[in-house]
A and B are shown apart, each in its own frame.
Chain A
Amino acid sequence: MTALALVAAKTVQVTDLNLYYGSFLAVEDVNITIEPNKVTALIGSSGCGKSTFLRSLNRMHELVPGARVEGEVLLDDEDIYDADPVSVRRRIGMVFQAPNPFPTMSIYDNVAAGIKLNHRRVKKAELDEIVERALRGAHLWDEVKDRLNKPGMGLSGGQQQRLCIARATAVEPDVLLMDEPASALDPIATLAIEELITELKKQYTIVIVTHNMQQASRASDITAFFNIEAAGRPGRLVEVDTTEKIFSNPSKQETEDYVSGRFG
């Protein structure tokens, strides 16, 4: 794969975001600018609202009955809550914790699925090209090029996750959201995904939720720390800064305690 020049990705600007499940305020008052061509890691203990927040960035939370947001999420200048949710999710892709290739589909069809679902009329030759480009971009092409018509489920866990990344990038989104993309993978597959993330940021704006602090420090440029005061209280964005600052000299004691493991 030739080195990609930096492609101008888009900025996600979140202002005064509150997220509710019914009457329960799950995430409170988040303000953050997620910068293009950078990897932003969301860290924090379980239940602090980071995954909920991530889902609100492409309106995925709306699949949960009763979930709603207040506030504003802008993709460059466009309010994603004024747009069609399907088009939002095409431009802001999501990669999940457990690799989830479509079980009955071939490797090829898994990657092509997004294009087909978006009802774009694409010629076979062009589709071949898109699939190859996406698989190469996900560092998977060489491993699967001779068995594109075999089921995606036949791949290893790490390969399946890279297949899901290829599927997410095939539709050429502006932003890639990743919810613990490597937590189900072994260390080698994890490093492969982290390398891939570093490569992908040349083209995309990337937000990654991770419980692995070493992963946040290795793979991200910006780290945002979420916390809750107690169970039943809303999650808050405590501090966001360069990853180097967060892991060497954070501004808030709360962040310091979390990253250095002083609290369980």
Chain B
Amino acid sequence: MSLLGRQHFQDELRELEQQALGGIDLVIKTLDRTLEALEHQDIELASIVIHDDDRIDGRYLEVQQGILSLLALQAPVASDLRVVAALLHVIKHVERMGDQCVNIAKMLPVVGYDPPKDEVMLEHIFKMGRLARSQVEQSKQAFLLRNVEVAEDLVRQDLEINRLNRGVFARAVEIGTDADRREWAMSMMLVARAIERIGDNAVDIGEQVAFVVTGQFREFSDASHVV
């Protein structure tokens, strides 16, 4: 038997994977800008984040179209089929994470130039941001390496994000004494919530890695069955 096989198809599939995982890089860059804008209350940078989301949306459409073509023309099976199905999920999560960055960026003008900040709450949020960034990066690595252990480790970081998110909520309750501060704290709760969702999306990508490798889909952590 020759070892040639479907070289052209394999090249196409590899390209599609690079395109989808490249979407994760776009998210990381966007998340960096978002957190920077938040840190410096940089409304200009926030508006760049908002407008740049078109690129992530464009990537989503490209990958989705590529997947449809591959399914229609090449009829992938077995692990190739699992990769294609997983990439469709990955690119959806990429698109969602991009939207969460936009949600955060849109809060900046709402809170104004000199908001009545609370350092404890901000510290929590920036810590969440760093963790989310590392999670997103790790989800890409897990996919590239087809490594289930690396994927499962995402849950550990996600638990920490969730814990901090609850901390942000508790802090908002504590400091919500005057109206301005209450408004600021509620906006920050939405920011924290958006970051927390990005972490969840990274875990979802990790679940797709496990699906690609094992052929079984299972949720790493189930929000409806909290232990």
Contact = CB atoms under 8 A, between A and B. Distances in A.
> Do A and B actually bind?
yes
Q: Interface residues of B: mostly helix, strand, loop or mixed?
A: loop
A87 interface: no
Interface residues of B, number: 17
Nearest to A228: B1
A259 interface: yes
B1 A260 contact: no
B5 A264 contact: yes
Given A249-B82, A249-B215, A217 B2 contact: no
A33 interface: no
Contacts of B78: 247-250, 255-256, 259-260
A238 to B, nearest CB: 13
A262 B77 CA distance: 11
Interface string B72-84: 0001111111100
Interface in B56-80: 75-80
A214 B1 CA distance: 21
Interface in B9-63: 9-10
Contacts of A259: 77-78
Contacts of B75: 214
A46 to B, nearest CB: 11
B227 interface: no
Contacts of B77: 213, 217, 247-248, 259-260
Listed residue (B4, B77, B215) with the most chain A CB atoms within 10 angstroms of its CB: B77
Contacts of A65: none
Contacts, number: 44
A263 B81 contact: no
Contacts of B2: 263-264
B226 interface: no
Contact of B6 (A45, A217, A262): A262
A249 B86 CA distance: 14
A232 interface: no
A261 B82 contact: no
Contacts of B5: 257, 261-264
Contacts of B10: 262
Nearest to B13: A260
A263 B78 CA distance: 14
Most buried by A among B1, B4, B10, B76: B1
Contact of B81 (A213, A248, A257): A248
Nearest to A248: B81
B120 interface: no
A217 B2 CA distance: 24
A262 B1 CA distance: 10
Contacts of A249: 78-79, 82, 215
A259 B75 CA distance: 11
Contact of B9 (A248, A255, A261): A261
A255 B79 CA distance: 11
Interface in A89-140: none
A257 B10 CA distance: 12
A15 B193 CA distance: 61
A116 B97 CA distance: 72
Contacts of A256: 78-79
Nearest to B2: A264
A264 B4 contact: yes
Contacts of A247: 77-78, 81
A260 B82 contact: no
Contacts of B179: none
A174 B9 CA distance: 42
Contacts of B223: none
Given A214-B75, A248-B215, A261 B81 contact: no
B6 A261 contact: yes
Contacts of A260: 6, 76-80
B75 to A, nearest CB: 6
Given A255-B78, A256-B78, A260-B76, 13 more contacts: A247-B77, A247-B78, A248-B77, A249-B82, A250-B78, A260-B78, A261-B5, A261-B6, A261-B9, A262-B5, A262-B6, A263-B1, A264-B3
7 contacts: A214-B75, A247-B77, A247-B81, A248-B81, A249-B82, A261-B6, A264-B4
Interface of B: 1-6, 9-10, 75-82, 215
User: Which 8 interchain pairs have the tightest Cβ spacing?
Assistant: A249-B215, A264-B2, A262-B5, A261-B6, A247-B77, A263-B1, A260-B78, A256-B78
